[in-house]
Amino acid sequence: MPPGVNKKKTLVIGLDGAAMAQINKKNTPNMAKLISEGMVSESNLYANPMAPTVSGAGWSSIATGVWPDKHKVPDNSFSNPNYDQYPDYLTRIENARAQSSTLVVGTWSPIPDKVFAKGADLKLRGGNDAGTTAKAVDYLLNGNPDSTFVHLDEIDGAGHSNGSDSIAYTRGHKTADQQIGQMLEAIEQRKTYHKEDWVVMVTSDHGHTPGGGHGGSSIRERATFVIANGKQFKAGTERHDVKITDIAPTVLKHQGVRVEDEWNLDGKNINSIAADDFDTLRPHLKKAKDEAKLSAQTKGWTTTAPSGWTIDNSAMPNGGVREWRGWSFTTDEFWTNTDLNQGRETSVHNRNVFAVADSDEWDDKAHDPGQFDSTLISPEYKVKGGQSATLSFASNYKIDGPQSGEVFVSFDGGEPVLVKSYDKNYNGVESIAIDVPKKAKKAQVSFRYTGTNSAFWSIDQVSLKK
């Protein structure tokens, strides 16, 4: 392995099948310290039909910075990966800075052999977690890698054999934490450590069921986390908007590699992720009312719009499930668990709190005659007359029966103009060019959804930029 050339260095440690619920000062003091001195964010994975909650899909999302619909690894067969278009972040580092030194050590052989196989300088199988740790410690202490990825696998084995409520699963986290401690100690004992700027991240590819196993859509199987520690992360920060696809662009940023727009990554550098208007509602989210599948103590919804936003429910019939009467604001852990395996879990582009129009769930309780018909209206945005503006928003629009999803823009209080109408499923980030009329100064965006016991539309991160 060539010697490193960068004073800025990164170590990403992947814990296969790990759970944030197992991380605490008593059982996992090293990870707890990384959190207390850095940042942590819990989030949820996709589920079918995008991909099951399995390792191939999870580690590929972490390595590439895109979700399974792009990297095309939905399982552990790696039969048709799209790594040429979406390579792992170590390959991107090598492509941009060939003199960099990059290292992969993994217990699960597909990590060095498949996921990070393209461009890293040195790719090693560890055999087991003790062997992986020993190799990683040796290179971190005695070598000079600029960017390192380490995969530990034995938490996952404990989860499969004993389940996520077992003593063995807890012990697995404790052992992995001790191994993380060895790696951190190796970094701190480097002769050049005081001159270096390290970012250390810890993450997981999926969780486990209480009975053992994963692949399904339950919240424990979908649960993941990102721990990030370094000078740029404020100590003790708990976030709700960071996902596993943000690891790759965060590493690239720290290593001095520019993330190009044409790469079309789903993830973002963590410190570039800003809260939107919907996120301000998190402290005001309410407990479940009509959603019987959720605990009465579970918070996660409101129909009160954030400042500047309004909801027009004048065409909505009375009744129905209260949580979803018209546009509502919710979180992934609340909304997706109202009814599993209906596609809600695929809303991977949403962050923190987002807006949802869900005619399917609303229709689960008796209501007055009529279809779901609700419009979400944005604040006014400043625009420049005669120029173009770009409307951007995360959108997951799923069709299942009679429904419509339309986006309108009005200028200076004038008649709304249709700029987008959905006639097929869409899951991604929209970017719509808007021609601003001459002399126009302000624009307002409206999202109208109608449906008769059909599916849903979720939106997030709405912006209209000059």
CA–CA gap between residue 418 and residue 315 (Å, rounded):
19
Domain boundary among 272, 305, 337: 272
**Does a structural domain hold residue 366?**
yes
Is the pLDDT assigned to residue 296 strictly greater than 80?
no
Domain boundary among 222, 257, 272: 272
Is 418 inside any structural domain?
yes
Residue 122 inside a domain? The answer is: yes
Higher pLDDT, 405 or 3: 405
Residues 206 and 292 in one domain: no
Report residue 270's pLDDT band, with 50, 70 and 90 as the boundaries: very high
Count the helices and strands in the chain (H runs, E runs). 12, 20
pLDDT at 25 exceeding the cut of 90? yes
202: in domain: yes
How do strand 388-398 and strand 456-465 relate by DSSP bridges? antiparallel
pLDDT of residue 111: 98
Average pLDDT over residues 361-369: 97
CATH number at residue 97: 3.40.720.10
- Do 234 and 356 share a structural domain? no
Of 75, 153, 157, 145, nearest to 104 (Cα)? 145
Please report the beta strands in 127-236, taking only residues with DSSP state E, as ranges in sequence order: 147-152, 197-203, 223-229
Q: Look at the alpha carbons of 238, 241, 277, 272 in this order and tell me if their dihedral is positive or negative.
A: positive
Mean pLDDT of all residues in 417-446: 97
The reply to whether 302 and 439 lie within a common domain is: yes
265 and 185 fall within a common domain = yes
Point out which residues pair with 410 in neighbouring strands: 444
Does one domain contain both 328 and 379? yes
Q: What proportions of the chain, in percent to the nearest 5, are helix, strand and coil?
A: 30, 30, 45
CATH code at 296?
Answer: 2.60.120.260
Residue pair 68/80 in contact by the 8 Å Cβ criterion: no
pLDDT-derived band at 466, boundaries 50, 70, 90: confident
348 Cβ contact list (under 8 Å, min separation 6):
45, 46, 50, 67, 243, 245, 266, 427
Q: Is there a single domain that holds both residue 20 and residue 141?
A: yes
What mean pLDDT comes out for the span 112-123?
Answer: 97
Choice between 298 and 139, residue whose per-residue pLDDT is larger: 139
Q: Note the pLDDT tens digit of each residue in 60-110.
A: 999 999 999 999 999 999 999 999 999 999 999 999 999 999 999 999 999
Domain-terminating residue out of 272, 296, 314: 272
Number of structural domains found in the chain: 2
The tens digit of pLDDT for each residue in 176-216 reads 999 999 999 999 999 999 999 999 999 999 999 999 999 99
- The domain containing residue 200 runs over which residues? 8-272
Q: What is the mean pLDDT of residues 316-342?
A: 97
Looking at the structure, tell me whether residues 264 and 306 fall in a common domain: no
Same domain (yes/no): 436, 287? yes
Cβ-based neighbours of 210, under 8 Å, separated by 6 or more: 163, 164, 165, 220
Is 1 contained in some domain?
A: no
151 lies in a domain?
yes
Length of the chain: 466
| DSSP character at residue 352 | S
Residues 88 and 206 in one domain: yes
